Structures are given as structure tokens and as C-alpha cells.
Chains A and B, each alone.
Chain A
Amino acid sequence: MEQVNQGVRENVYPQAAQALYRTLSQVAISAVTPLAAVIVALACGAALLWLNGFNGSDVVTVMIFGSFQDMRSVGEILLKATPLILIGAGLCVAFRCKIWNIGAEGQLYVGAIAATFVGTSIDGLSVWVHAPLVMLAGAIAGAAWAGIAGYLKVRFQASEIVTTIMLNYIAIILTSYLVTGPMKDASAAYPQSARLVREAWTPRIVSDMRLHVGILVAVVLAVALYIFLQRSSRGFALRVVGQNPHAARYAGMNVGRNIMIAICISGAMAGLAGAFEVAGVTHRLYQNISPGYGFEGIAVALLAGNNPLAAILSGGLFATLRSGSEVLQITSQVPQVLVLVIQGIVILSVVAFAKLRDIIRIVA
């Protein structure tokens, strides 16, 4: 069948038009399926709300557009998008190498701890030195934390799914211990660390908004990771290892080293996200520094089809939904659990449509 179709096409279109048609149809397939996933999920959500006695379409409208009220609220969305884009883009790299890093949440926490340490224990540096140093500390810590799981996989074939989940617990509990014990701000009643010195703060973009330069860093890094994966030799090796480890070995690629690089890149991105949460938003380390960004980042990467460039958009979408649900909680009677259910449906639908996209690719 396939052969026949191609034959017909070849006769009808000239070469260049054919290539264009192919590219466009590929772009269309890549773009339409995630969009369809989101629309179907929101429709399901609306139906669910309607069954619970709410005006479903109104609520969903609020969820999507409610947060676009002014510049400030857009800034808040971008603030939430920052860690989601960072983590999502990083996970794209790991997932392309078929490394199922479920530990971005823990890597984020470890990054936040390292950033807090560097931001509180050093004083007297210029902002040009101290702020980047804090980011670097977060990234290195996240990479190292992910590297533990990577090493266990390469050395002992331990499933990274299990080890990264376990490392999540360790990182989160370690944070609780630190802010109630060794790193606790002695003058505060609540479990929290001391405030980071001013120079360590991530600079804001506009002085009266919370939005900081992290969003720019996230977008630049996502683009960089896209180029890394598609255009660099190392990125090529990572993809080959992910697609066919036997062929990678045959070709002389070091499978273990590539696995380490992929998981450490995703860990560094999550660690950097943690550093931005502390240095850009809270300026202190708290027990619950992340509202689950590390897990939502997995959905971001999935919706993006493991393409870091698309993770910018899907990260933005998830941030919008998150902001919208906050608006909902304030302005309507919709219980928070229902909002969470709708978010869950979005993720399920994304996974289902990702599978569908593969099927369409094969058929097309």
C-alpha cells in the first residue's frame, strides 16, 4: 500500500513540492497531536465539571484564559514556566537516550540545597559573580544526584526508574532535615533557611515583578539542547544509544558513558530549576520548595515529543494550566481535587495521543 501511494505522489508532484509536502505534513502531525490531546483533555474536564454541577465550559475557560489578566499575571505564568521548561527540556535529552529519569523532583531539591548553601555562606561577591555561581552550584548538584542513578544503571544495571524515585525521597527528606536542623535560620520560628545574600539573587527582569532572568536562561538552554541533540556528534551518539544500543556498541560508541551524559544533563537542568526557585523566587530554602515541578516536567517532555524546542511551548502550556487552576480556586467553588483531576486527564491524554502520533507516522 505504502509503496503504491508513494508512487502516485511521485507522479503528481514535482520533486521540490514533494519535499515541502513531506516536511509540512510532518510538522502538522507533530503539532496537531499534542494540540488535539490538550483539547480532548479539556473537553473531558469540562464534561466532568458539568457532571458535578458546574458550568464546565466556563470553568475551563477560566482555567486557560483566567490567568491572562495583566502583565503581572503573565509574569507569574512565565515564572512557573521557568522550572517546567528547564526540567522538560532536560528530560527530553534523557528520554531520547531511553533513560527514564523520574527523579527530576529530587534533583531540583538537591539543586536548591546547593544554591542555598552557596547563596548564604559566601558574602561580598559582586552580583555578576555570585548569581551565576549559585546557578552553577544548583546545576552541578542536580547532575551529581542524577549521576548516582546513572552510575548504578551503568555499573549494576539497576533500573533508573526505581533508583531515581528512591533518590527523590532522599532529597526531599534531606531538605526537611536541613531546614529544621543545620541550615535553619536561628531567628525564624518556621523551618526555613537563612535568606540568601542580595548578590546571590537571580536578577529580576522588571524591578516590580517577581519574574527573573531564569525564563530567558530556560529558553536559551532549551534551544541549546535542541541543537545539541540534533546537530552535535555527542547528541547523535545519545540518540543512537537510545534507539539501538547494540548498533551503538557495534559502531564503537561507549554506551555507559552516553547514558551518564544524558542523565547528568537532565539532572543539571532540574538542579538549575531548583537553584532558580531559591535564588529567584523564595530567596530561602523551604521544605516544600517545589509543588511537583519535577513530575510535571515529565509530562512537559512527553507532550513535547522529547523535543527540547517544543518543551518551551508545552512548558508554557502546563504553567498556564497551573496558574489557571489557582485562579479557579480563588474565584469559584470548584474543589481543588477536581482541578487536579483535570490536570491528570491532560497528562493521560498526552500519553495516549503520543502513541497515536507514532501510529499516524507509520501509516502516513
Chain B
Amino acid sequence: MSQKPFLRIDNIRKRFGPIVASDGVSLEIQEGEIHSLLGENGAGKSVLMSMICGMVRPDEGEIIYKGQSVRFNSPREAIRQHIGMVHQHFMLVPNLTVAENYILGQGSALRVINDMDEVHAKIRELSDRYALDVRPDALIEDLSVGEQQRVEILKTLFHGIDLLILDEPTAVLTPQETDRLLALMRDLVKDGKTVVFISHKLDEVMRVSDRISVMRDGRVVNTVNVADTDARGLARMMVGRDVGMELARNPANPGPLVLSVENLTCRSETGLPAVRGVSLHVRAGEIVGIAGVSGNGQTELSLALSGLLPVDGGRVVLNGKDITGLDPVRINASGFSHIPEDRHKHGIVMSMSLSENTVLQRYDQPPFAARGMLNRRMISEHTRDLIKRFRIKSRDEDQRIGDLSGGNQQKLVVARELARNPDFILVNQLARGIDIGAMEFVMEEMLKQRDSGRAILLISTELEELFAICDRILVMFHGEILGELPPDRTRLDELGLLMAGKTEQPALAG
């Protein structure tokens, strides 16, 4: 390095209970650059940046900022050092005005800021300089998400920044708003500020960055100049795993059509179009994969298929029966099993026992219930059987599932969903957050299910997972299926390009 780094992170470690969020991260940020942090959900990007801005304290390691070792105990201390962060979830009070939000926590109990005119003037000036269109007297709750984000960015400018950290800022924006944000980042750098841009969207990162660091599993895998890389290489770095998994598998023997999806559209919970006309078919005895960088509509697709998100248009047919927009209880009863992406949100009830979690859907059906009462003996027996068959490490069937490791929790979800004898299994992130052993086990179980004639749709951001068990791989980008590939490792580059949204054949120059 020719110049001294503006910010150096040295071997930072952070654990939350059993979860390692940062596993010895080292990173250097130069003054006046746009430095992107790229990585999958859970790779440790947000936690790392929260440590820089004083929200979270590292367990080990050092942060050197402007040549000095710093250790912030609160965001306030970081703000005083001119470090600002815009979080994924905005930190604004909805029923206060923009100006009121800015002076929150300023001053003290004894010294009240009383010159609001000055505050308003300063906000107007900054807003004009960066074309942010922020009115100081606007109520936060009246603003759109995009506007609120500009309010957040202006807040950091208001307090004065040299370093601005943006955590997944484009996740909530429309393409036009995204363009505007990227332009703003360029303007800020022109004024001598430094920007750290956290994202998992390859194209945006390629468009705006000077340098890019790729994070995976709580570590920085690599830092590259944007000129020296391309979307293909980045995709590889993001999803690549060192362990190549080779599972013994028979050739697929697809039978009759089980699930057909025609032109499905739906919106995300924030109301933005998320799935835009997806069509796909899954036959009995095959595993169809959906690859894609996360945030391209996969979450919404799986929620819409399982009845947890309203469908705007299109049709979902399971075993010849139209299940479009039905409620989950009817979809569940049609031979549909769902291994959800967010285990803790949808998959299990953390405070309940393994037994109770085993009968989450069948709590009122025989043999687990009779005349409205639970048959606890049957439930216990069934759970013990699953624990044994899936080698779930637990004390007994009455243990709280929250006390189990993530891998064992996932095994129980898989066990439960398979035990319901489904015709179709929707899997979103089969092996997220679980160890290699458990991963291989659940994958082998999926192959067994396939061979016994079940139709499986596996949505995953882990290419290894898809290559290991899928018979066909579809690529999803911006809510659409861009193409289909065989699970052939030699065509990884093609897959990476599709994942970056490039459908045309690549020129072989780069």
C-alpha cells in the first residue's frame, strides 16, 4: 500500500452466543473511495460495519481510523469522529419532522437546542447541494421509503461525516431511486468523503465501486479493484465453497407433472414488484433448482407458492388442482410441504418442545389428536422416531427446540415436512447455517425423496447445494426466470453471468 489506509480493520472477531458473526476479519479502506462489501445474507457484512460505527463492540481485534486505534462505546462516539451509517432498518421517529429527528439526542437535558431556524437552514442547504429534495418540516411518516432513506443520508451529512456506511441501501429502492443513490455516492466521494457500500447485488456494485471486498462466512475472502474483475468472477467468489460435495446419485427418472406455475406475479411485503411472471414445472422424481443472488424474488416466490403472500396474477397448479392464492391450511392439505427459508420466523416455534414443533401442522389430525384433544403419547412416539431416523442431537423429545443447534433444528423441520408424505416439497435454503455433516445428511435425504417419486423445488443461493442434488437449475434475476442449465460444474461461468442478469452470450475478451 502506497498510502496509509484511512480505515484499517485488523483481525476482528465477534460471536453472538454460538454464532460466529466475524471470524477474524481484516479489511482496509482508502480515503475517498467507494468500497463495496459484497456477500450473501449472513456473511457478516452488517455486523462488521455495526462495529465500526459503535453499535456493536468487537470481542477481539483492532479498528484503526485515521491512523489511530479506536474503540467506540456508542454510535455517538463514532458520530463525533465523523463516521455515519445508514442502516437497513431506518432509525427515524415516524411522528417527528425531519429536523426534529436530526436534533434527537443532540444537546443535553440542560442545554436545549432552541434555534430551529438554523437547523432548518442547514438542512435546506445540504439538501440543495446534493439534490436530495428533503424538506426539514416534513413528517417522517408521510415520506416514502426512498425519501426516508435520503433523510437518513442527509442526517449523517448534517452531523458531519468523513466516512459514510450504507447497509443494503438499494434493497428497498426502485431502479430509478437506485440510479439516483449511486449518483449521490459519486458526488459524496467528489467532496472528499469515503463511502462503504454494503450490497449483494453484483450489477450495482460493479457500477459504482472503486474497490470491492467479498465476504463469506464471517471473513473477507478477497479485495479487488473493480477494473480487475467482472460480475462472473465476483459471483464465483461470493458463492464458492471450498468443499466440493460429491453425493452418489442415480439418474433422474421424471414422472408425471406435479407442480406447474404459470406467469406468477406478486409483490414483496413492502409493496414492490418482486416476482414478475415466473413460469416453471416440476415433475415427480426430479429436483428442480432455482439459483440466484438473494433478493431477486426467491423469498417472495416461495411465500406466494405456500400461501403466505398474496398472489397478484398467474396460476399455481398442484396435482391438477388450482391452489393459487389458497390459504396455507388448504395448500398444506394438497400434498404440499415447505421447508422455509427463515427457520426461526416460519419453520419452528423456538420456545416450544421438539414434540410440539413436530405436529405444528397436524396438531388437530389423527393420529396426533382425537376428539379435540392431543394424543401426547402418539406425538412423543412419532417425535422420538424422527429424532432417531434423522439423528437429531437432543436430550429428548421434550427439550425446547430453541436449545438445539441450527443444524439439528433444520433436521427437525426437514423430518417433519417429509413425514407429512407430500407429493411436492418446496425447499428454500436447505442447508443455511448448518454444518457440513448435517448438510450432507439432509441432501442425501432429498435425493432419497426424489428417487421415491416426489417432486422437489429447491431455491438456493448456494451453488454447491444446487449442483449436488438438482437435475435442472433455473436462474432467477429481478423476479424473472432468466434461463435453465444442467447441473454441470463446467458451466459455472454461464451460471454466474445469468445470476448477474446477463442473458446474452459473453464476449470472451475479459
Which A residues contact B (CB, under 8 angstroms)? 2, 6, 19, 231-234, 236-237, 239-240, 243-244, 246-247, 249-254
Decide yes or no whether B369 CB sits under 8 A from chain A: yes
Known pairs A236-B363, A237-B364, A247-B345. 11 more at Cβ < 8 A?
A2-B403, A6-B395, A233-B372, A240-B349, A243-B351, A247-B347, A250-B308, A250-B347, A251-B328, A252-B333, A252-B361
Interface pair A247/B348, CB less than 8 Å apart? yes
- B360 A234 Cβ-Cβ under 8 A: no
Nearest to B333 among chain A residues (CB) is A252
Bound-state Cα–Cα, A233 to B91, Å = 41
Asked whether B351 lies within 8 Å of A251 as measured between CB atoms, the reply is no
What are 26 residue pairs bridging A and B, where the CB atoms are less than 8 Å apart in the complex? A231-B373, A231-B376, A232-B372, A233-B364, A233-B372, A236-B356, A236-B374, A237-B363, A239-B352, A240-B352, A240-B356, A243-B350, A243-B351, A243-B352, A244-B349, A246-B345, A247-B347, A249-B346, A250-B340, A251-B328, A251-B332, A251-B361, A251-B363, A252-B327, A253-B329, A254-B329
Q: Which of B321-361 contact A (CB under 8 A)?
A: 327-333, 338, 340, 345-352, 356, 359-361
Q: Is the CB of A247 within 8 A of B373?
A: no
Q: Is B306 an interface residue (CB 8 A)?
A: yes
- Looking at the complex, which one of B329, B346, B359, B395 makes contact with A247 (CB distance below 8 Å)? B346
Known: A252-B361, A254-B329. A247 touches B349 (CB 8 A): yes
The 5 closest A-B pairs by CB, nearest first: A252-B329, A233-B364, A250-B346, A251-B360, A252-B328
Which chain A residues lie closer than 8 Å to B351 at the CB level? Answer: 243
The docked-state distance in angstroms from the alpha carbon of A239 to that of B376 is: 16
| A246 x B352 contact (CB < 8 A) | no
Taking CB atoms, residues of chain B closer than 8 Å to A251 are 328, 332, 360-361, 363
B360 contact set on A, CB distance < 8 A = 240, 247, 250-251
Q: How far is the CA of A19 from the CA of B396 in the complex (A)?
A: 10
Residues of B within 8 A of A239 (CB): 352
Q: Which residues from chain B contact A19 at a C-beta distance below 8 Å?
A: 396
CB distance from B347 to the nearest CB of A (A): 7
Instruction: Identify which of A232, A250, A254 contacts B373 (C-beta below 8 A).
Output: A232
Q: A234: which B residues are within 8 A, CB to CB?
A: 364, 372
Q: Which B residues are CB-close (under 8 A) to A233?
A: 363-364, 369, 372-374
When distances are taken between beta carbons in the complex, the residues of chain A under 8 Å from B376 are 231
Residues in B with CB closer than 8 Å to A236 are: 356, 359, 363, 374
Tell me which residues across on chain A come within 8 A of B356, comparing CB atoms: 236, 240
CA gap between A251 and B306 in the complex, in Å: 10
Is there contact, CB below 8 Å, between A249 and B363? no
Instruction: Name the interface residues of B225-250: CB closer than 8 Å to any CB of A.
Output: none
A-binding residues in B (CB < 8 A):
306, 308, 327-333, 338, 340, 345-352, 356, 359-361, 363-364, 369, 372-374, 376, 395-396, 403
Give min CB distance, B303 to chain A, whole Å: 9
Cα A250 to Cα B333 in complex, Å, equals 12
Known: A236-B356, A250-B340, A252-B329. A231 touches B374 (CB 8 A): yes
CB-nearest residue of chain A relative to B362?
A251
Q: How far is the CB of A10 from chain B (nearest CB, A)?
A: 9
Give, as a whole number of angstroms, the nearest-CB distance from A250 to chain B: 4
Task: Please give the distance in Å from B405's CB to the nearest CB on chain A.
Answer: 10
Pick from A232, A247, A253: contact of B374, CB below 8 A.
A232
CA distance A72 to B247 in the complex (A): 78
Bound state CA distance, A283 and B468, in angstroms? 76
B369 touches A244 (CB 8 A): no
Tell me, in angstroms, the Cα distance from A310 to B423 when the chains sit together.
45
In whole Å, how far is B185's beta carbon from the nearest beta carbon of chain A? Answer: 35
Q: Are the CB atoms of A246 and B369 closer together than 8 Å?
A: no
Q: Report A-chain residues with C-beta under 8 Å of the C-beta of B345.
A: 244, 246-247
Cα separation A57 to B306 with both chains bound (whole Å): 63
Nearest CB of chain A from residue B459's CB, rounded to whole Å:
16
Distance, CA A19 to CA B340, complexed state (A): 33
How far, in whole Å, are A2 and B332 apart by their CA atoms in the complex?
37
Residue of A232, A236, A237 with most partner-chain B CB within 10 A: A236
CB distance from A78 to the nearest CB of B (A): 31
How distant is B356 from chain A, measured CB to nearest CB, in Å?
7
Name B365's closest neighbour in chain A (CB-CB): A233
- The CA-CA distance from A253 to B331 in the complex, in Å, is 12
Give the residues in chain A near B364, CB-CB below 8 Å: 233-234, 237
Q: If A237-B363, A243-B349 touch, does A250 touch B328 (CB 8 Å cutoff)?
A: yes
- Which of chain B's residues have a CB closer than 8 A to the CB of A254? 327, 329
Distance in angstroms from A228 CB to nearest chain B CB is: 9
Chain A residue nearest to B416 (CB atoms) is A251
Measured CB to CB, the closest approach of chain B to A238, in angstroms, equals 11
Closest to A237 in B: B363
Residue of A237, A244, A252 contacting most chain B CB atoms (<10 Å): A252
- The listed residue with most B CB atoms (<10 A of its CB), out of A232, A240, A244, is A244
Query: CB-CB < 8 A to A250: which residues of B?
Result: 306, 308, 328, 338, 340, 346-347, 360
A233 CA to B378 CA in the complex, in Å? 13
- On chain A, the residues within 8 Å of B308 by CB distance are 249-250
- Using Cβ atoms and an 8 Å threshold, which residues of chain A touch B330? 252
Nearest opposing residue in chain B for A250, CB measure: B346
How many angstroms between the C-alpha atoms of A253 and B361 in the bound complex? 8
- B363: chain A residues within 8 A (beta carbon): 233, 236-237, 240, 251
CA distance A6 to B331 in the complex (A): 41
Q: Name the distance in Å between A259's Cβ and chain B's nearest Cβ.
A: 16
CB distance from B307 to the nearest CB of A (A): 8
A237 to B359, CA, bound (A): 11
The closest CB in chain A to the CB of B348 belongs to: A247
Q: What separation, in Å, do the CA atoms of A57 and B194 have in the docked complex?
A: 68
Give min CB distance, B408 to chain A, whole Å.
Answer: 13
| A contact residues around B372 at 8 Å (CB) | 232-234
A237, A251, A254 pick with most chain B CB within 10 angstroms: A251
Among residues of A, the one whose C-beta sits closest to the C-beta of B396 is A19
Query: Which residue of the partner chain B has the closest CB to A361?
Result: B400
Q: In whole angstroms, how far apart are the Cα atoms of A236 and B356 in the complex? A: 8
Q: Which residue of A lies closest to B370 (CB)?
A: A233
Most chain B CB within a 10 A radius of its CB, from A6, A243, A250: A250
Distance of B323 from chain A, by nearest CB (Å)? 13
Inside 8 A of B333's CB, which chain A residues have their CB?
252
The reply to whether A252 and B332 contact each other, CB–CB distance below 8 Å, is yes
A residues less than 8 Å from B396 (CB atoms):
19
Distance from A246 Cβ to chain B, minimum over Cβ atoms (Å): 5
Complex CA–CA separation, A247 to B416 (angstroms):
14
**Minimal beta-carbon separation of B447 from chain A (angstroms):** 25
State A236–B376 Cα separation when bound (angstroms).
Answer: 12
Q: In the complex, A239 Cα to B356 Cα: how many Å? A: 10
Also in contact, A246 and B346, with CB within 8 A (given A240-B360, A252-B327): yes
A244 to B348, CA, bound (A): 8
Give Cα A233–Cα B372 distance, bound, in whole angstroms: 6
Q: Which residues of A contact B374 (CB under 8 A)?
A: 231-233, 236
Chain A nearest Cβ from B40, distance in angstroms? 22
Shortest distance from the beta carbon of A276 to any chain B beta carbon, whole Å: 27
- Cβ distance B339 to chain A, nearest Cβ, rounded Å: 11
Expressed in whole angstroms, the minimum distance between the Cβ of B191 and any Cβ of chain A is: 44
Chain B residues closer than 8 Å to A240, beta-carbon distance? 349, 352, 356, 360, 363
Candidate in B348, B360, B364, B396 with the most chain A CB atoms within 10 angstroms:
B360
Do the beta carbons of A244 and B350 come within 8 Å of each other? yes
* Least distance between B16 CB and chain A CB atoms (Å): 15
B336 → chain A closest CB, angstroms: 10
Task: Give the distance to chain B from A36, nearest Cβ to Cβ, in Å.
Answer: 23
B residues less than 8 Å from A252 (CB atoms): 327-333, 361
Of chain A, the residue at the smallest CB distance from B345 is A246
The interface residues of chain B lying within 8 Å CB-to-CB of A232 are 372-374
